[in-house]
Every structure is written in C-alpha cells, then in structure tokens.
Amino acid sequence: MKSLFKTVFVIIIFTGLTRLLGFIFRIWLSRTIGAEALGVYQISFSVFNVLLTLVSSGIPLIVSRMTAKSITNKDKKTENKAVTTALIISLIASVLITVIVIILNKPLSFIFADETCITILLVLLPALIFSSIYSTLRGNLWGRNNYLACCSSELFEQVMRMLICVILLSGIFPAISGEIGAALSLSIACVFSSVYVLIWYLKSGGKFHKPQKAEYIDVIKTSSPITFMRVASSMIQPVIALIIPIRLVASGYTNAQALSLYGIASGMTLPLLFIPMTIIGSLSFALVPDLASATAKNDEKYISSRVTTSIVFSMFVAFLIAPIFMGVGEQIGIFFYDNATSGILLSASAWVIIPLCLTNISSSILNAVGLELKSFKNYILGAIIMLLCIWFLPKYVGINALIYAMGGCFTTSAILNIRMIKKQVCPNLKIAKFFMKFTLISIPIIALCSFVGSLLNVFMPLLFNLMITCTLGVIFFILLCIIFNIFELHTVIVWIKQNNPIKLHNHKKEFKKR
C-alpha cells in the first residue's frame, strides 16, 4: 500500500505540475493567437494525435512489460534487444507515415475546413518521428519503475515547448503565424525531450543490441492489438474536429464563427473539464498493477474493497469540482481566457466531469483484470452516440452539441463499464447510494457558489472573488460529505495524525539516534 501511495503521489505531483503549466500555456496561447487560429490548430492537432497514437501507443507498453520481465530474470541483453527492436519498428513506422502525409498533402487538404490545417500538420510531422524515440525509451524507464525519469520527461517537454513558443511568437520571427508557431514549438520540444530520455536511458545502463528477426515479429504481434484499440479510440477526436465546423456552417454560422466556437470549446472549455484527470489518471495508473496482482492471487475481498473505494473516490473528486464550475463557470472563463463564452460553456458542460471520471476509473479497473476488450466495446457504443449528437444537434443547440455528445459518450461508457465490473469483477459493488448522496450535496453547493460569486462580483476583484467562492464551495462540500456520512471526520483526523510530516520527521530523528 505504501508503494502504491508513493507511486500515485509522485505521478500526481509531476502530472499536476505539467498540466498546470500546459493550462497556463493554453491560456496564453488562446489570448495571443485568438480563438479562430486556436480552432484551426486544434483541428490539425487532432489528426496528428491519431498518427502519434499509431506510432507510440502499443509499443511503449510492450517495452515496459519486457523490461520488467528481463529485470526479474536479470537478463540485461534481452532487455536491450527489446528496446532496440521496438525503437527500430517505431522509427520505421513514423518515417513511413511522414513520407505518406508529405506525398498526399494536397489530397488531404480537401478534408480540412481551412487550408492552413495541412500546413500545420506538415510542421508537426518531425514531432512524430522524435516522439517514437521518446515513447520507446520512456517505456523502458517505466518498466524499470523509474517514475522520476518518466514524469520529469513530460515536464521537461512542456517547459521547453512553452519557452520555444514564446520566442517564436514574440515578434522576432514576423513570418511565423500564431498557429504555425504553436505547431513548430511542439516539434522542436520533442527533439529536446527525446534527447532527455536518451540520456536517462544510457545513464541507467541501457545499450542497443542488434535484434533477431523473430524479435521483430514478437514485438509487432504483441503490440498490434493495443495499438489498434487506441487508434480506433483516438480517431473519434479528429472526426469531431472535422464534423463540428461543417455542421455549424450548415446550421447558418459563417466559417470563421464555426472555427472560433470550436476553438473556444476545445481549446478553452474542455481543458478545464479534464482537470480532475490529474488525480483520477494517477490513481488509475497505480491501480492497474495493484488489481492485476490481486487478481493473480484470487483475493476477492481485496479486489472488492479496492474497486469500491476507487470508484467512490473518483465520484468524490468529480462532484467536488463540477458544482463549483456550474456555479461560477462564467467568471472562471473571463478570468482565465477573458472570454465569457468559454465560461458559459463551462457552466453548461460541468456535469460531463462526473461520467468522465467514472469512465476513466472503470476502464482502468477492466483493463487491470483482463477485460480491456469489453471496455473498448463499451467506449465504441458511447462513441456512436457521440457521433450522432455532433451530426444532428448543431442545428438545434449550436456548439452545445459537443457538450451533449461528450456527455452521452461518457455516460454510456460509464454505465456499461460499471455494469460489467459488477457482473464479472465485483458482484457486491454498491455505489448507487453514494451517487445519490453526492448528487443531493451538489445542489446547495451550486446555489452557494452562484450566489456568493454574483454577490462578490459587485465590489471585489475577480481573482479574490473566485478564491473565496471556490474555497467556500470546497469547505461546504466536505462538511456535507461528513454530515451525509460519506466519510467520517474521525478517520480523516487519524490519518492526518499518522501522516503528520513533523511527527514522521521526529520519528526518523529518533530512529537515527538509536
């Protein structure tokens, strides 16, 4: 348990800092290049993300598994061969995709709503090649349980991208437009991050050995199913990025208005909705090996306890944030982006956080016990609902169709996942009462945040308004959780006393004296 919590803590710290910097960067970028340019960039990036998933999704996981197995068997040569094999395959795949996109760039330009999109995609292609190096070597470091190297590499890449983008868009290079500068900064940052993980890999004793033909076949065979599932999942985003502007234009919006609205929704509002994923994602990562080990031991009691606790905790995080966004979403949008529309969309879409968190944690549970194909099928069903929403609803609700599409997708996936967990993993799973309690608690929290935020907005700067309102929302939410007996105050106090940093430090000093 201590090892699990330590892993989660390390991941949360680095992931949280990386996402915070990314969030700040997104705010700066949206203010610098504008909503329309951001929308154009998001469309190109969603297509690039599919190519990136194709190159660097399944192989890193396989490298991680092979590395862990080789370390257990103390077989350094096999470990190095596995890394070399995966690296060669990734590089060949990324170079081939790059060449194909370059050759077919003119035909591909017709699928985009704006001609600049294909230019941005071409600028992003170097990032694809260097990401194949980065992800493979990072997979080895992950298999070695080198969480510091893995997490710090993401942070390093984010910092480098921010610095490079600020330089490119500072006016020194007037020929570089905002969206092109954003794409170029990512490509250059990927060069630095690949060198960074290479140094960590060599420092940890990693080398490169010529692999055999059978080893190529083994890596391709084992990584293909994972790659296929993740590519199919990632295909949804570029489809949305292409369809939403087209359907908005068909509904009466101009092309500029459609791109601007999509840029606001995808580049400003959606990143805020994914804030809880910093915590839930870290828990999911640590939960997978934990549950896999318990499944191997057939420890049903432990599995039941961990599954229930993880799902309830995910609901706690989601319901802690969603009501606050519903109450003061507009003020948050104005404060961060100087854009009231993004805040209005945030208030309207905050409920999506709940099924989003439940889908994330339930998918991880299914993956941990070998039911990843079931989880993937559930996501596909949700994705079908999403595509139907974004095709038919823009005519009636405009950009809000994206909110309903995401909500429908995640709600469907979450319900089906939890049903599958109860059926095949944890028959005694009972979370309905917790969900009802959290829902009832959220109603007064929404009203409180809305009232206090509106009241303070009259005579107080927006920063202090949000600080006071959000703090009150969190405090009252926790108090209501205690009143509704979702968790006991005594348990929290005992845990704090046991984990008091000062007390732990004194214990360590006493131990050293002895």
CA angle (45 as vertex; 379, 147 as ends), nearest 5:
70
Please check whether residues 266 and 134 belong to one and the same domain. no
Q: Which of 175, 206, 231 is the last residue of a domain?
A: 231
Rounded to whole angstroms, the Cα distance separating 383 from 232 reads 10
Please check whether residues 218 and 255 belong to one and the same domain. no
- pLDDT value at residue 52: 86
Give the residue-averaged pLDDT of 438-463.
92
Task: Judge whether residue 497 has pLDDT over 70.
Answer: no
Q: What is the pLDDT of residues 41-51, one digit of tens each?
A: 888 888 888 88
**Could you tell me where the DSSP H helices lie in 104-177?**
105-109, 116-143, 147-168
Task: Judge whether residue 465 has pLDDT over 60.
Answer: yes
Give the residue-averaged pLDDT of 471-485.
90
The total number of structural domains in the chain stands at: 2
Residue with the bigger pLDDT between 472 and 366: it is: 472
Sole residue written with tokens 């896999």 = 292
Give the residue-averaged pLDDT of 130-142.
87
The full length of the chain comes to: 514
Residues of the domain holding 256: 235-514
Please check whether residues 274 and 221 belong to one and the same domain. no
Q: What is the pLDDT of residues 269-306, one digit of tens each?
A: 888 898 888 778 777 766 665 665 566 567 677 778 88
- pLDDT value at residue 495: 42
Please check whether residues 15 and 162 belong to one and the same domain. yes
Please check whether residues 271 and 179 belong to one and the same domain. no
Across all residues in the chain, what is the average pLDDT?
82
Please check whether residues 316 and 465 belong to one and the same domain. yes
Give the residue-averaged pLDDT of 211-232.
70
Give the residue-averaged pLDDT of 331-347.
90
Cβ neighbours of residue 480 under 8 Å, at least 6 residues apart?
441, 444, 445
Question: What tokens were used for 199?
Answer: 């140094």
Quick check: 204 and 146 in contact, CB under 8 A?
A: yes
Q: Which of 181, 198, 231 is the last residue of a domain?
A: 231
- pLDDT level of residue 352 (50, 70, 90 thresholds): very high
Rounded to whole angstroms, the Cα distance separating 409 from 277 reads 17
Please check whether residues 256 and 149 belong to one and the same domain. no
- pLDDT value at residue 1: 46
Please check whether residues 251 and 193 belong to one and the same domain. no
> Helices 277-296 and 353-368 meet at what angle, rounded to 10?
20
Beta-carbon neighbour count of residue 274 at 10 Å? 17
- pLDDT level of residue 226 (50, 70, 90 thresholds): low
Amino acid at 240: I
| % of the chain at pLDDT higher than 70 | 86
Please check whether residues 182 and 314 belong to one and the same domain. no
Task: Judge whether residue 198 has pLDDT over 70.
Answer: yes
Q: What is the pLDDT of residues 1-35, one digit of tens each?
A: 455 556 667 777 887 788 888 878 888 888 888 87
Please check whether residues 129 and 141 belong to one and the same domain. yes
Please check whether residues 399 and 469 belong to one and the same domain. yes
Q: How far is CA 424 from CA 184, 187, 355, 374, 428, in A?
A: 47, 44, 21, 11, 11
Q: What is the pLDDT of residues 367-402, one digit of tens each?
A: 767 676 777 788 889 889 999 999 999 989 998 999
Q: What is the pLDDT of residues 50-85, one digit of tens each?
A: 888 888 777 777 777 677 667 767 777 778 888 888
Q: Which of 231, 252, 274 is the last residue of a domain?
A: 231
Give the residue-averaged pLDDT of 244-260.
87
Residue with the bigger pLDDT between 339 and 499: it is: 339
Question: What tokens were used for 222?
Answer: 């084992």
Sole residue written with tokens 């997708």 = 409
Question: Whole-prediction pTM value?
Answer: 0.70
Give the residue-averaged pLDDT of 228-249.
78
Q: Under DSSP, is residue 103 helix (H, G, I), strand (E, B) or coil?
A: helix
Please check whether residues 167 and 254 belong to one and the same domain. no
HEC profile of 195-224:
HHHHHHHHHCCCCCCCCCHHHHHHHHHHHH
Give the residue-averaged pLDDT of 478-506.
60
